């Protein structure tokens, strides 16, 4: 396959931890999330990473809410690649977390190991990961390996080697800077990149104030970028981002300065071997 130079931008627009008390700009309802996804698409994102909330604004993996939200996104931005979270929130059980894939997404995150997550434990046992991988395979959903530690990359590689995950292309997301997991530093990013197969692609999600520095380094390294309010609330020190699209637009500007063309959803679908889905 020819080298893929275009920049893949993922917008993580909500998450499970952020609240309206922290920022009034956080989208929560299916209507708000789908509007935000459309704005991110217009700004240059080709993947939306999706969590949803219940009517009270609490994180949920409820299949009906995911279906409603994914359906609205596909109405407003039909080309946008929808990637749902199966991580949910740290306190959720496996059977709740996996409900998100009932919304017929293009992709889903597959967290490939446990780690400390602030004051909590993000549990991903071997059995849970294997079961999630099996269910994604049955629904022809492409997994994105979500790695909070280097050992998570090794387990993802094992899943591929043993045939538990079969796809024409593999994509890894390095989540860096979560308190209790791998730090967001350039040497560690380089080390993580060295551990994935040469033909695979990767994205970095820097947490908090490290979102922009890690994104900029990833741009220069030929990697890809995840930005959004799930990971970072601020546009600059002390200044809240007014939308996820604002964070996407900044990455587009920096990428252009560095000579990286922005990938379109159609280009990424071809690269990832994704077929368009509908509910």
pLDDT of residue 278: 65
Q: Which of 145-159, 193-207, 265-279 has the lowest mean pLDDT?
A: 265-279
Answer yes or no: are the C-beta atoms of 11 and 40 closer than 8 Å.
Answer: yes
* Tokens matching residue 197: 């197969």
Identify the CATH class of 9-272.
alpha beta
Answer yes or no: are the C-beta atoms of 207 and 231 closer than 8 Å.
Answer: yes
68-119: pLDDT as tens digits: 999 999 999 999 999 999 999 999 999 999 999 999 999 999 999 999 999 9
pLDDT of residue 2: 61
The average pLDDT across 155-178 equals: 98
The average pLDDT across 139-163 equals: 98
pLDDT of residue 58: 97
Task: Check the CA dihedral 123-135-139-146 and report its sign.
Answer: positive
pLDDT of residue 126: 98
Over pLDDT 90: what percentage of the chain? 97
Over pLDDT 70: what percentage of the chain? 99
**pTM score above 0.75:** yes
What does R_g of the chain's alpha carbons equal in angstroms? 17
Between the alpha carbon of residue 98 and those of residues 66, 119, 172, 203, 240, the distances in Å are 11, 23, 19, 22, 32
pLDDT of residue 277: 72
pLDDT of residue 238: 96
| Residue 3 binned pLDDT confidence (cut-offs 50, 70, 90) | confident
* Cα–Cα distance for residue pair 265/255, rounded to 1 Å: 17
Residue 67, pLDDT above cutoff 80:
yes
Helix locations, the chain, DSSP H: 30-43, 63-76, 94-97, 126-138, 150-161, 186-194, 211-221, 244-257, 265-272
What residues are paired with 175 via a beta bridge?
205
The average pLDDT across 32-36 equals: 98
pLDDT of residue 259: 95
* Tokens matching residue 202: 């990767």
The DSSP secondary-structure symbol of 84 reads E
- Residue 134 has a CB neighbour count (10 Å cut-off) of 12
Answer yes or no: are the C-beta atoms of 99 and 68 closer than 8 Å.
Answer: no
pLDDT of residue 276: 80
pLDDT of residue 125: 97
């Amino acid at each position: 396959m020819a080298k893929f130079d275009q920049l893949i931008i993922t917008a993580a627009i909500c998450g499970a931890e952020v609240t309206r008390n922290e920022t009034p700009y956080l989208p929560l309802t299916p209507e708000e999330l789908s509007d935000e996804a459309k704005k991110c698409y217009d700004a240059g994102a080709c993947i939306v990473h999706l969590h949803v909330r219940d009517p009270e604004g609490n994180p949920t993996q409820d299949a009906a809410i995911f279906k409603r939200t994914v359906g609205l996104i596909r109405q407003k931005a039909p080309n946008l690649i929808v990637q749902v979270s199966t991580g949910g929130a740290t306190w959720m059980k496996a059977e709740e977390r996996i409900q998100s894939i009932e919304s017929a997404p293009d992709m889903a995150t597959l967290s490939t190991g446990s780690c400390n997550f602030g004051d909590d434990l993000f549990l991903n046992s071997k059995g849970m990961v294997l079961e999630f991988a099996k269910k994604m395979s049955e629904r022809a959903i492409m997994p994105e390996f979500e790695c909070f530690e280097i050992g998570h990359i090794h387990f993802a590689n094992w899943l591929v080697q043993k045939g538990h995950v079969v796809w024409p292309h593999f994509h890894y997301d390095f989540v860096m800077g979560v308190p209790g997991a791998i730090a967001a530093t350039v040497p560690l990013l380089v080390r993580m990149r060295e551990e994935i197969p040469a033909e695979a692609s990767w994205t970095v999600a820097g947490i908090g104030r490290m979102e922009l520095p890690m994104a900029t380094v990833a741009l220069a390294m030929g990697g890809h970028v995840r930005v959004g309010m799930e990971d970072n609330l601020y546009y600059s020190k002390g200044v809240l981002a007014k939308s996820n699209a604002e964070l996407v637009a900044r990455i587009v500007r920096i990428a252009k300065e560095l000579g990286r063309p922005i990938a379109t959803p159609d280009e990424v679908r071809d690269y990832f071997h994704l077929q368009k889905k509908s509910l």
